């Protein structure tokens, strides 16, 4: 069950379990009883179920896309699904995703299957915004970004990630100023969001529509960022765990 805004901070204060919460709404004399003693995995499972039911933004052209309830201390946050992701029912499912997974395989030694099964995949907006008349993807509006932001806030509260990787300018701007990509790519930032402190290592969008990551200085800065990610303790721990689980 999704917690009302007034009590959300209380209900997600513990990363491992929920306290029983009994709240009286004096104006309507209604009692709201919330789930007790839920593990983080149970909280995340319920969160994803509620996320997939969301219909807050009438201009969006699809229902929400989710990578599943992957309990992880790493998050990758994209911008918004493209037109193919809703049909395939998973994020990063087309050209940009293929490039992103190649980056992780080259620099971190983990393939797409490991990324999808061990890293929580999120986005600034979870639905496909649609196309402009020019044929380009529509950028989500400020109201849509605001509507969707609470999902990410709750995910940070539940997961308590050690590292967040925002992919693309729109995702980066939800955390830090990003007037120019060269000012932020290749750097690590210490950020506080949703009452939790974590590392942030931005990546450029891997879309073929932008050549930034292919030409100077973007190519060198992208490589520097990926090396920072590969050396981060959260990623190193994930890689070791994935290696141990191989048959």
CATH number at residue 71: 3.40.470.10
For residues 104 and 115, the answer to whether their CB atoms sit within 8 Å is yes
pLDDT 10s digits, 183-221: 999 999 999 999 999 999 999 999 878 899 999 999 999
The fraction of the chain above a pLDDT of 90, given in percent, is: 79
Question: How confident is residue 135, by pLDDT bands cut at 50, 70 and 90?
Answer: confident
Asked whether residue 160 is assigned to any structural domain, the reply reads yes
pLDDT digits (tens, 9 = 90+) for 63-81: 999 999 999 999 999 999 9
- Whether 171 maps to a domain, the answer reads yes
Q: How many domains does the chain have?
A: 1
Mean pLDDT of the chain: 88
The answer to whether position 37 is within a domain reads: no
Please check whether residue 56 lies inside any domain of the structure: no
What confidence score (pLDDT) does residue 12 get? 37
Is residue 10 a part of any domain in this protein? no
Residue 23 sits at the vertex; the CA angle it makes with 17 and 25, to the nearest 5 degrees, is 150
Structure confidence by residue, pLDDT tens digits, 25-48: 433 333 233 444 589 999 999 999
Torsion-angle region of 194 (φ positive above 0: left; ψ -120 to 50: alpha; else: beta):
left
Tens digits of residue pLDDT in 78-105: 999 999 999 999 999 999 999 999 999 9
User: Residue 149 falls within a domain, yes or no?
Assistant: yes
Whether the predicted pLDDT of 123 surpasses 60: yes
Cα Rg of the chain (Å, integer): 19
Q: Has residue 159 been placed in a domain?
A: yes
Give me 104's structure tokens. 């992780």
Domain limits at 90? Answer: 64-244
- Whether 57 maps to a domain, the answer reads no
């Amino acid at each position: 069950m999704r917690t009302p805004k007034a009590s959300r901070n209380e209900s997600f204060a513990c990363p491992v379990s929920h306290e029983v919460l009994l709240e009286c709404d004096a104006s309507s004399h209604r009692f709201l009883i919330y789930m007790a003693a839920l593990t983080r995995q149970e909280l995340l499972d319920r969160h994803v179920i509620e996320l997939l039911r969301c219909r807050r933004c009438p201009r969006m052209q699809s229902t929400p896309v989710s990578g599943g309830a992957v309990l992880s201390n790493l998050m990758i946050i994209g911008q918004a699904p493209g037109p193919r992701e809703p049909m395939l029912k998973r994020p990063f499912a087309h050209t940009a995703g293929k490039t992103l997974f190649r980056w992780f395989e080259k620099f971190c030694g983990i393939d797409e299957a490991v990324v999808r099964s061990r890293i929580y995949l999120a986005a600034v907006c979870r639905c496909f915004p649609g196309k402009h008349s020019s044929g380009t993807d529509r950028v989500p509006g400020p109201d849509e970004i605001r509507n969707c932001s609470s999902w990410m806030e709750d995910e940070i509260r539940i997961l308590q990630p050690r590292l967040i990787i925002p992919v693309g300018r729109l995702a980066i701007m939800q955390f830090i100023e990003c007037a120019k990509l060269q000012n932020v790519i290749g750097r690590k930032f210490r950020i506080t969001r949703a009452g939790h402190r974590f590392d942030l290592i931005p990546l450029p969008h891997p879309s073929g529509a932008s050549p930034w990551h292919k030409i100077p200085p973007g190519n060198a800065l992208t490589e520097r960022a990926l090396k920072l990610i590969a050396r981060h303790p959260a990623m190193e721990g994930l890689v070791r765990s994935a290696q141990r689980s191989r048959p």
